[in-house]
Amino acid sequence: MATAFSATLPLHGSQENRLLLPPTRLAPPPPSSSFLGSTRSLPIRSLNHAHASRRSPVFAVQEVVKDKKKPTNSLLITKEEGLVLYEDMILGRSFEDMCAQMYYRGKMFGFVHLYNGQEAVSTGFIKLLTQSDSVVSTYRDHVHALSKGVSARAVMSELFGKVTGCCRGQGGSMHMFSKEHNVLGGFAFIGEGIPVATGAAFTSKYKREVLKQDCEDVTVAFFGDGTCNNGQFYECLNMAALYKLPIIFVVENNLWAIGMSHLRSTSDPEIWKKGPAFGMPGVHVDGMDVLKVREVAKEAVGRARRGEGPTLVECETYRFRGHSLADPDELRDAAEKAKYAARDPITALKKYLVENKLANEGELKSIEKKIDELVEEAVEFADASPQPGRSQLLENVFADPKGFGIGPDGRYRCEDPKFTEGTAQV
């Protein structure tokens, strides 16, 4: 069954999207590259389908640039959907800003990586998922967890290292898990989560096809541009396409891996092209535009739910802050930063909602206020929460939740007085 991605109305009229055409035609030379600074001319490649019998067919992504004046009956979202998206993005942004404040006040410590600027990707994808769908993320995972439904309180407490955090304070910033919302973790190691997501996707497929359960769950794996040079990524693309798994690989290409520019570290910087090489569609989308991301996500998630296999989606996005809160962010060009700041996804959505009369300023302001209060309350809650007891250190190393630390006298070793000597205040 041939599927075409539906046309999208761009929020910033000049953004074009990549075309990936079916094998019968060669791709026309694309217009000016949307990657900043790339002077590469794109080679025209014909897709080799000599082994088509083993591969799922590659579908076309038809995305046409339309101008701004559109009849209102082709709006992409309803008012309710629009407000949900707006609220989610505002939550992500406020939360991350509050994280930065708390970090500089010493309330949280360790390595914290903020998601400012990339909210459209998280909101665009995760708001289409159900509670039983799984999400796998990277170290930049606060907002993925929030979008998926983990409460701001739980995430903030986790960041503060309190026992009320989503992982009882064990994981911290880079390890947000939630059994309830099927967040299979943030991963500090790049690419480490992708095989985990692939395995999770296999479970859904197995449940549906072998156990004949009514399971339409998909898995979405988020990772960055740097990860696309890592072996684990390719291994999983292969496995996912081979087993036709219900997974969506979402590349949050923000052009920088700490200080390493994507264009200087990748032989072919167009990551979406790596999908067809493995037999799955590859799509490139403007990741600063939540509506475009959502349209592409709808199609990709739909494909996965129907059992048609994986998709690779490359979202062109940008992080407004440094790699982490300890990163002075000196390497990126100010002009590049300004260019992307002008494409702030929240401002763009706000403009869209107001211009298309889906919401007025007042409603949006009240959402912002509500979120501010929510985040403040999360901080208060986290502050007031207790720290985990010392016995928690030895718990959960093995399956026995109490850990393994039983001393010869039959008491848990963590209560042994020697264990608690010489310790500093955390």
Binding site for other proteins (CB under 8 A): 109-111, 161, 169-172, 174-175, 188-191, 226-227, 229-231, 257-260, 264-266, 326-328, 331, 387-388, 390, 392-394, 397, 403-405, 418-426
Min CB(161)–other proteins separation in Å: 4
Largest interatomic CA distance in the chain: 78
CB of 144 to other proteins, least distance (A): 18
Pairing outcome for strands 260-261 and 256-257: antiparallel
CB of 416 closer than 8 Å to CB of 394: no
Q: CA dist 292 to 8, 13, 295, Å?
A: 6, 12, 5
Nearer to other proteins, 199 or 405 (CB): 405
Q: Residues for the chain: how many in total?
A: 426
Cβ 179 to other proteins, closest distance in Å? 19
Burial (CB count <10 Å: 0-12, 13-18, 19+), residue 396: middle
**Residue holding tokens 């004949």?**
212
Cα–chain center distance at 421:
42
Amino acid at 93: R
Which of residues 302 and 403 has its CB atom nearest to other proteins in the complex? 403
User: Smallest distance from the beta carbon of 419 to other proteins, in angstroms?
Assistant: 7
Secondary structure in 3-state letters for 122-152: HHHHHCCCCCCCEEECCCCCHHHHHHHCCCH
**Spatial separation of the C-alpha atoms in residues 131 and 181, rounded to whole Å:** 5
Cα(52)–Cα(22) distance, integer angstroms: 12
If the CB atoms of residues 38 and 170 are measured against other proteins, the closer one turns out to be 170
Q: Which amino acid is at 307?
A: G
Q: Residue 145 Cβ, how far from other proteins at the closest point, in Å? A: 17
Buried b (16+ CB within 10 A) or exposed e, 101-111: ebbeeebbeee
Minimum gap (Å) between residue 153 Cβ and other proteins: 18
Complex with other proteins: residue 39 or 423, whichever CB lies closer: 423
Measured between alpha carbons, how far is 174 from 45 in angstroms, rounded to an integer? 39
CB atoms within 10 A of CB 241: 23
Nearer to other proteins, 238 or 392 (CB): 392
Q: Which CB, 52 or 331, lies closer to other proteins?
A: 331
Give 81's contacts (C-beta < 8 A, 6+ positions apart).
none
Rounded to a whole number of angstroms, the minimum distance from the CB of residue 33 to other proteins is 20
The 10 Å Cβ neighbour count of residue 410 is: 6
The residue among 123 and 266 lying less far from other proteins, judged by its C-beta, is 266
Minimum CB separation of residue 387 from other proteins in Å reads 7
Q: Give residue 146's Cα distance to chain centre.
A: 11
**286 beta partners:** 316
Question: Minimum distance from CB of 416 to other proteins (Å)?
Answer: 12
Of 202 and 419, which CB lies nearer to other proteins in the complex structure? 419
Toward other proteins, which CB reaches closer, 244 or 262?
262
| CB closer to other proteins, 169 vs 345 | 169
Residue 231 burial (C-beta neighbours within 10 Å; 0-12, 13-18, 19+):
exposed
The answer to whether residues 422 and 157 touch, using CB atoms and an 8 Å cutoff, is no
| Least distance (Å) between residue 186 CB and other proteins | 11
